[in-house]
Structure 1
Amino acid sequence: MAPAYTTWLLDQIRAGERNALEKLYTIFYKRLCDFACQIVKSSDLAEEVVSDVFLAVWQKRETLEIKTDMKAYLYVAVRNQALAYLKKEKLWEELDEEAQSKAIEHYNPLDMLLFRELNYSLSSIISTLPEPDNLMLRLKLSGMTYSEIAQALDTTEKTVEYRLSKSISFLKRAYQKSR
């Protein structure tokens, strides 16, 4: 989505145009939910987090200051909201189990076992990455481009590319060792 269009939508939202918020919601809702789900490990919680972010945008529309483009702002806001929710509710471990069982309901028992082992292994390895690398990897997995990640994290595209390359190499080596 072109930053100029989302900037225009933001201007419309500031002017109190509910339709502009609905357009913004339609454009970003699904991808933001997918991103939030990677953090909270529950589609229901992810939807709640994203809805809370859009509600906050509407409630703070007159004073909202966005220094990056709207897409980067929304991803960072969703990340912060999701992490705040998990910290508040202390649901890290409980949600992992619940999310895994929901995701694998439709597979046979062997597939379920393999999926759980793979998911646990990768989650464990990813969690050992330093926070900036961990976050960059999750943003990339959510569908953001290097440029969007760089904007969201206020760094250069080359830094994102380099750190993601190092993280992926680390994940491959660590996963091979764990097998």
Structure 2
Amino acid sequence: MKVAKPDFVVLWARICLEDDIKSFEVLYRYLYNSLHKLALYYVREQEVAEDIIAEIFVRCWENRKESTHIQQPESYFFVAVRNQSLKYLKKKSGTTFIDLAENEAEHPVEAYTPESLLERKELHHKLDHAIETLPAQAKLVFRLIKENGLKYKEVADILEISPRTVQTQLFRAIAKLRLVLKSEKPSGFNAEIGEKLISMVILLGIITFFKYVVGNF
């Protein structure tokens, strides 16, 4: 029988505010397998993946009093494992890893004016804010695919859900982002930036659908 998913926010509050070791053990047991699969996806070494998970959990316990600001513990651990895995690979190979979502090498150097850099920063800020409004699972699926570059089946294995659920959650996330970005136009909001954001999300939806149709998931 599959263990019911705990309320991570409640567990995290107990850990940070009450030093509750039992809540920490529940958090560890529930997340370990998924986090281990994610680490192993990057480092390809069983022992290294285990060390990365252990180091992150030990550090989180030691720094629990300073971690009350973390609002999405589950997402926090996935990001921490990803970052630590990439850090290990960089140290091992001397290679610099670049987030493909941020890599805009196709643009000429002269395009990076102060105005364009400010616009890109605002675009990413608005998109990140919109992503944070997504339901927990949809947000996690979106970030694993968009930021980590994982495929449907890989995300399904890590989260222990079906590839169809991954697809559904991703499509829902894209649809929700479009609605949020269209409605989020307070005073002073740059209309052109808003339209670019919406276009970005629509493009992401088209690319995602294409990958699904050709079976690349």
TM over 0.5: same fold?
yes
Unaligned 5+ residue runs, structure 2?
A: 103-145, 160-165, 175-200
State the shift of 1:89 in Å: 2.1
CA contact 1:31–1:142 (8 Å) conserved in 2: no
The match for 1:157 is 173
For the 8 Å contact 1:36–1:46, the answer to whether it is kept is yes
Q: Within the alignment, does 1:10 sit opposite 2:26 as a pair?
A: no
Among 136, 141, 159, the alignment partner of 2:154 is 141
Kindly tell me the number of residue pairs found equivalent between the two proteins. Answer: 130
Query: Structure 1-normalised TM-score?
Result: 0.58
Which of structures 1 and 2 has the bigger CA Rg?
2
TM-score for the superposition, normalised by structure 2: 0.49
Runs of 4+ in 1 over 3 A off after TM superposition: 129-134, 144-150, 163-172
Please give the alpha-carbon distance, in whole angstroms, between the structure 2 residues aligned to 1:139 and 1:60: 34
- 1:25-70 deviations in whole A, cap 9, x for unaligned? 0000011101111111112111111111111210110111214x22
Query: Residue 66 of structure 1 aligns to a residue in which SS?
Result: coil
Q: Which residue of 1 aligns with 2:70?
A: 66
CA offset at residue 142 of structure 1? 3.2
> Residues 1-179 of structure 1: matches in 2 within 5 Å?
5-14=7-16, 15-64=18-67, 65-67=69-71, 69-90=72-93, 130-131=100-101, 133=146, 135-138=148-151, 141-143=154-156, 144=159, 145=166, 157-158=173-174, 159=201, 162=205, 163-167=207-211, 172=216
SS in 2 for 1:137: coil
Give the superposition deviation at 1:136.
Answer: 3.8
Identity %: 23
CA contact (8 A) 1:136 1:164 kept: no
Structure number with higher helix proportion: 1
- Matching residue of 1:104: none
Once the 2 structures are TM-superposed, how far is the Cα of residue 139 of structure 1 from its aligned partner? 7.8
Q: Following TM superposition, by how much is the alpha carbon of 1:148 offset from its aligned partner in structure 2, in angstroms?
A: 7.9
Offset of 1:149 from its aligned partner? 7.6
Q: Distance in 1 between matches of 2:24 and 2:91?
A: 28
Greater relative contact order (Cα < 8 A, sep 6+): 1
Q: What is the Cα-based RMSD across aligned positions, in Å?
A: 3.6
Matched AA of 1:13: I
Does the CA contact (< 8 Å) of 1:137 and 1:164 recur in 2? no
Please state how far the C-alpha of 1:71 moved relative to its aligned partner: 1.4
Quick one: structure 1 residues 18 and 141, their matched pair in 2 at CA, closer, same or farther if it must change by over 3 Å?
A: same
Q: Say if 1:170 and 1:86 are closer, same or farther in 2 by CA, change over 3 A.
A: farther
Deviation at 1:72, TM superposition (A): 1.1
1:60 to 1:139, Cα distance in 2 relative to 1, 3 A: farther
Shift of 1:2: 5.3
Give the counterpart letter for 1:70 in structure 2.
Answer: P
Which whole-Å CA distance do the structure 2 matches of 1:136 and 1:6 have between them? 25
